[in-house]
Structure 1
Amino acid sequence: MPDADGRWTVEDHLRGAPVEYVELYRAVEAAIHACGPVIVSPSKTTITFKGSRRGFVGARPTRRGVRGYLDLTRSLVGDRRILSSSPYTGRLHVNQYRLTTLADLDDTFISWLQEAYRVGQGDHLHG
């Protein structure tokens, strides 16, 4: 539930979620913060992490795992964690994902977070 001013918080998204997926969300959150400075922007639908130029990743615990999106310059279709991918702008694809275990947060997924972080910093605009 949003606060008295109608703003959503990270805690609103965590409340009532299965403990294992809250823990998995916290691991994803830590991996995102390890990429560099971010602004955390919770809304009704997700928790968005923003770089200096734009939001680049979203995450939230659900009853079936941690769901979110990665904004990348490419599609990640073909990996079992990727639910869908679609062009978002002329340069970007939004890749919807679901993680269900801590093992899903592997080196490959971490590299995608790092790649998305660079999109959040606007690196995709200089190439």
Structure 2
Amino acid sequence: MARGPLWTCPACGRTFANPRQPHTCAPLGDLARHFVGKDPQVRATFDRILSLVETLGPVDVLPEKTRIALHVRMSFAAFMPRRHWLDGHLVLARQATHPTFRKIETYSPRNVLHTLRLTHPEEVDQPLFALLSEAYRVGEQHHLNG
């Protein structure tokens, strides 16, 4: 199913799948700022995630005030660097399991938020990459095709 063009907020320049979508309209920050004062493995873990996601296709990295969102047509993952670990979440179209998942919240049948915590890049294993791939497809809105 073909999707329409993205809407761009004239004030902040962010793109959205839905016109005039409510959002925090603020300029994006500097990615490096999120990692100041954090252990080196926190940045290494984020960099591993990003390098894997970039193999799936184009992705926008949105360093917002409180999080770093990964976005295609919609944001499908977000990460919040902490001093010793990386907190985050993935949006999937189903409930899934992985040892790093701390909480799962179902907002609708095809909108399931999986909260996770990572302490080392090695935790970004093949099963988590498969789930990142699923989340990327949610970001492309392929989960709405049927």
TM-score between both structures, scaled by the size of structure 2: 0.75
| Structure 2 stretches lacking a partner, 5+ long | 1-25
Match of 1:121 among 140, 143, 146: 140
**Are 1:36 and 2:52 counterparts?**
no
Runs of 4+ aligned residues of structure 1 deviating over 6 Å after TM superposition are none
- Does the aligned pair in 1 maintain the 2:67–2:78 contact within 8 Å? yes
1:116 & 1:56 partners in 2: Cα distance? Answer: 5
Q: Which has the higher contact order (CA 8 A, sep 6+)?
A: 1
Larger radius of gyration: 2
Q: Which residue of 1 aligns with 2:131?
A: 112
2:28 & 2:71 partners in 1: Cα distance? Answer: 17
Matched AA of 1:23: A
For structure 1, which segment, 28-37 or 104-113, has the greater mean C-alpha deviation from structure 2 after superposition? 28-37
Matched AA of 2:79: A
| Structure 1 stretches lacking a partner, 5+ long | none
1:85 & 1:64 partners in 2: Cα distance? Answer: 22
Coordinate RMSD, CA, aligned: 1.7
The alpha-carbon deviation at position 90 of structure 1 amounts to: 4.0
TM-score between both structures, scaled by the size of structure 1: 0.86
Taking every aligned residue pair, what percent have the same amino acid on both sides? Answer: 28
Q: Which residue of 2 aligns with 1:68?
A: 88
